[in-house]
Amino acid sequence: MERQIKVLVTKIGLDGHDRGARVVASSFRNAGMEVIYTSPWQKIEDVVNITLQEDVDIVAISSLAYDHLIVPKLIEALQSEGLGDKKVLVGGIIPREDEEMLLNAGVKKIFHPGETLDSIVEYVENIMGKTSMK
Amino acid sequence: MKKIKQDNYQQWSKEYQKMRGVPAEQDLKYNLSGIPIKPIYTAHDIKEETLSYPGEYPYTRGLYPTMYRGRGWSRRQLIGLDTPERFNERQREMIKAGSNAVSLIFCNSFYRGYDADAVDPLLVGTCGTPINTIEDMEIAFDQIPIDKISIALNDPIGFTGLAMLLVIADRRGIPYSKITGTSNQSDFISHFVANHMFYRISLEGSLKILLDHIKYTNKYVPNWNPVSIVGQHMQQAGATPAQALAFTISTGITYIEETLKQGLLIDTFAPRFTFFYDISISMFEEIAKFRAGRRIWAKLLKERFGAKDPRSLRFKFHGQTSGAELTRQQPLNNIVRVTIQAMAGILGGAQSLHTDSYDEALGTPIEEAARIAINTQNILAEESGIADVIDPIGGSYYLERLTDQMEEEVWGYIQKIDEMGGMLEAVRKGYVQKVIGESAEKYQRQVDSNQKVIVGVNKYQIDESEDKRPNLTRVDQKLVQKHLKRLENFKNRRDKSKVDEALSRIVSATNNDELNIFEETILAVSVGCTHGEIIETLRKCYGFGHPNIV
């Protein structure tokens, strides 16, 4: 049986602007995925714990105010808990200058303003589809 | 009213239907607030009511008889740079460039209630200025004439920013009555429902902190506006212009009722209530929003609260052009968007205006973008003639009808919230949060389905892989380290026993109605308590505030 895609939508760091995170979480839910949505300001260890306990497939981080700068630290923490296979997506205000840094750190994909909700959902379905066919 | 001489509406209507295939009355568009918009408005659409004059109840055409002929709006640019030194430098440049008011944005760690040494160094100074101590504040306001310029502090409940400013006034020998400005982020309800950037303390605790702040400034800082009710958060979070207006007015009702319970008389404090709104690109709708807001507030204050002083009836607002509408794609287009938004604010009769920089969807503004933003206001104010005539679009059939419709729409929400038991109850139940969330999603769906066009995003896109975007200013980690070192030295230098005593006095004030939390906060910052220590103390006493988000 096909497993439901499980997504964690969260914000780390200090900023709490969560309109984008909430709208994206709700479209994952509407697309039939199981969504865990946390309030903003999660600590890196909180995200690692939820990822571990809930066994999510996708960790989607929304960042509008530089919190993306600590995403590499999150990925390191996930890897050291043996969760390196989780796909980390980042969406929001991500300056061009930081894209390479994030991708090198292991971020699977960066979504910028202007992305449609459908294309974000489609992207997640695609990468999960490919994974399950392996 | 003028008689309509010859009415050819029927004939026009026939022509219209022939060309469009639908009757004009059914050929509707909808604005952001969901109000149906017809293709034309005529004398038939407006009430038989004569418009009042500016400065005359209910202030539809403006709060003052002279409006911008007498005094222009304040060109108030929000500034927050990564260190107090850099804030000071930029602020002094902006004053030279024409800004006549200061607005200090604190950094994210401040808004979360922490000092710089309690967060990841990579995040220190992001989005604003780290102010931890009175020493930081003195650097930020060095050579800025705090008795001659209006100061907006983005200072959430706790009000450590104003406490520090007052200590600076003491040290410079300036009486508190000379300090003018606004606590821009005092509206904790808006933080619960729409902006989760700020630390939150339980609703009950937040209310006591706010009321003490109102009482203290009412008595000792008479020219300070302790309350700014923030529709900007709500609209940025997705509320429609009508919803943002309604929810702020309901919030205002709650704050007034609670302040009255403290024994203050309406005309002693209501004149110091102000509002802060988002201005979207939906120009006529925004102008109607502000005109309707003035009317509703005046009627409420007069009829519901029995205010007699005309100053109590005045709906004074600061407007900020909408950042959520700015695009990352083809960012120079944002200059045009900001111009239209700013025009809506001016035509809507704003007392004070912030124009966004075109690069705000990319990061913290570069200096050139900040200069263009203030020059957008300078050009509108001094080249375009837009401010030469008071309420220049007043009397337009469309605008007058839209103002009426906006007013009706808003009264509907206000009544609903009254029935729920007021804004605090509506927030506890999650009602306001739910409405805002639904509107945000609806808007995004319209953009995604191209029903709502955003140039460069879902229409007229170009390949931007090669485009030249401005280089971003980054927080300099060397400056962060210097800031952290200064904080460490400051903490080592101060008299620890005085700090502990001041914090325990704040604790006492939290559960004693005879003691004033804000008064104790001024004392606390003067003996060296840090922002983080004060907020932590309040948070421990009152508990964390959990918004009910559904």
First and final C-alpha spacing in chain A: 15
The residue among A17, A39, A47 with the most chain B CBs within 10 A of its CB, best to mutate, is A17
CA nearest A25 in B: which residue? B441
When CB atoms are compared, the residue of A65, A70, A116 closest to B448 is A116
Hey, what are A8's tokens?
């964690």
B453 touches chain A (CB under 8 A): no
Give the model's pLDDT for residue A134: 34
> For the segment B77-113, what is each residue's pLDDT rounded down to a tens digit?
777 677 899 889 988 887 887 777 888 889 889 998 9
CA nearest B436 in A: which residue? A19
Identify the band that residue B548 occupies on the pLDDT scale cut at 50, 70 and 90: low
Give the model's pLDDT for residue B535: 96
Nearest to A74 by CA among A20, A116, A11: A11
* In chain B, domain spans: 67-448
The 3-state DSSP class for residue B151 equals: strand
What strands lie across the sheet with A6-10, from one edge to the other? Answer: A34-37, A6-10, A58-63, A87-92, A109-111
Cα–Cα dist B204/B157, whole Å: 12
Q: Which of chain A's residues have a Cβ under 8 Å away from the Cβ of B238?
A: 19
Give the model's pLDDT for residue B361: 80
* B348 has a pLDDT exceeding 90: yes
What amino acid occupies position B304?
Answer: R
B444-460 mean pLDDT: 91
% of residues, chain B, pLDDT over 70 = 95
B528-535 mean pLDDT: 98
CB contact under 8 A, B197 and A17: yes
* A133 has a pLDDT exceeding 60: no
B282-307 mean pLDDT: 98
The residue among A9, A10, A11, A14 with the most chain B CBs within 10 A of its CB, best to mutate, is A14
How many contacts, defined by CB atoms under 8 Å, are there between A and B? 89
Cα–Cα dist B277/B353, whole Å: 10
Numbers of helices and strands, H then E, in chain A: 5, 5
When CB atoms are compared, the residue of A39, A65, A95 closest to B472 is A95
Provide the mean pLDDT of chain B: 92
Identify the band that residue B549 occupies on the pLDDT scale cut at 50, 70 and 90: low
Give the model's pLDDT for residue B103: 83
Going by C-beta distance under 8 Å and a sequence separation of 6 or more, which residues neighbour residue B261? none
Q: What is the DSSP letter of B515?
A: S
* B31 has a pLDDT exceeding 50: yes
Q: Regarding beta strands B227-230 and A6-10, do their DSSP bridges make them parallel or antiparallel, or are they unpaired?
A: unpaired
Q: Which of chain A's residues have a Cβ under 8 Å away from the Cβ of B469?
A: 96
CB contact under 8 A, B112 and A66: no
Which of B7-11, B263-267, B333-337 has the weakest average pLDDT? B7-11
How far CA B22 is from CA of A25, B12, B28, B45, in Å, comes to 40, 13, 10, 20
Which of B80-94, B107-121, B375-389, B528-542 has the weakest average pLDDT? B80-94
Hey, what are B540's tokens?
């421990």
Cα–Cα dist B84/A9, whole Å: 34
CB contact under 8 A, A16 and B123: no
Cα–Cα dist B342/B31, whole Å: 18
Residue linked to tokens 């008299």: B495
Assess if CATH 3.20.20.240 describes domain B67-448: yes
Report the b/e string of A66-92 with b at 16+ CB within 10 A. Answer: bbbbbbbebbebbeeeebeebbbbbbb
* B128 has a pLDDT exceeding 90: no
Q: Which of chain B's residues have a Cβ under 8 Å away from the Cβ of A18?
A: 196
B52 touches chain A (CB under 8 A): no
**If you write DSSP's letter for every residue of B2-32 in order, what string do you get?**
PPP----HHHHHHHHHHHHSS-GGG--EE-T
- The pTM of this model reads 0.90
User: How far is the alpha carbon of B427 from chain A, nearest alpha carbon, in Å?
Assistant: 17
Give the model's pLDDT for residue B48: 67
User: How far is the alpha carbon of A55 from chain B, nearest alpha carbon, in Å?
Assistant: 24
Cα-based angle B128, B129, B134 (whole degrees, multiple of 5): 150
Q: Domains along chain A? A: 6-133 (3.40.50.280)
B191-208 mean pLDDT: 86
First and final C-alpha spacing in chain B: 50
Cα–Cα dist A109/A106, whole Å: 9
When CB atoms are compared, the residue of B123, B198, B237 closest to A69 is B123
Cα–Cα dist B351/B228, whole Å: 13
User: How far is the alpha carbon of B185 from chain A, nearest alpha carbon, in Å?
Assistant: 15
Q: Which of chain B's residues have a Cβ under 8 Å away from the Cβ of A66?
A: 108, 122-123, 126-127, 475
Q: Which of chain B's residues have a Cβ under 8 Å away from the Cβ of A16?
A: 195-198
Nearest to B128 by CA among B138, B140, B118, B120: B140
CB contact under 8 A, B195 and A16: yes
Interface of A with B in 8-67 (CB under 8 A): 13-19, 22-23, 26, 39-41, 65-67
Determine contact, residues A88/A61, Cβ cutoff 8 Å: yes
CB contact under 8 A, A118 and B448: yes
The 3-state DSSP class for residue B529 equals: coil
What amino acid occupies position B269?
Answer: F
Rg (CA), chain B: 24
Provide the mean pLDDT of chain A: 91
Report the b/e string of B347-370 with b at 16+ CB within 10 A. Answer: bbbbbbbbbbbbbbbbbbbbeebb
Q: Which of chain A's residues have a Cβ under 8 Å away from the Cβ of B81?
A: none
Give the model's pLDDT for residue B54: 97
* B542 has a pLDDT exceeding 50: yes
* B127 has a pLDDT exceeding 90: no
How far CA B14 is from CA of B10, B44, B45, B317, in Å, comes to 6, 17, 19, 44
Give the model's pLDDT for residue B105: 87
CB contact under 8 A, B111 and A65: no
* A2 has a pLDDT exceeding 80: no
> For the segment B232-280, what is each residue's pLDDT rounded down to a tens digit?
999 998 999 999 999 999 999 999 999 999 999 999 999 999 999 999 9
When CB atoms are compared, the residue of A22, A26, A67 closest to B123 is A67
> For the segment B465-500, what is each residue's pLDDT rounded down to a tens digit?
755 566 666 788 899 999 999 999 999 999 999 999
Backbone dihedral angles phi then psi of residue B437, each to the nearest 5 degrees: -60, -40
Q: Regarding beta strands B29-30 and B317-321, do their DSSP bridges make them parallel or antiparallel, or are they unpaired?
A: unpaired
Q: Which of chain B's residues have a Cβ under 8 Å away from the Cβ of A95?
A: 362-363, 472
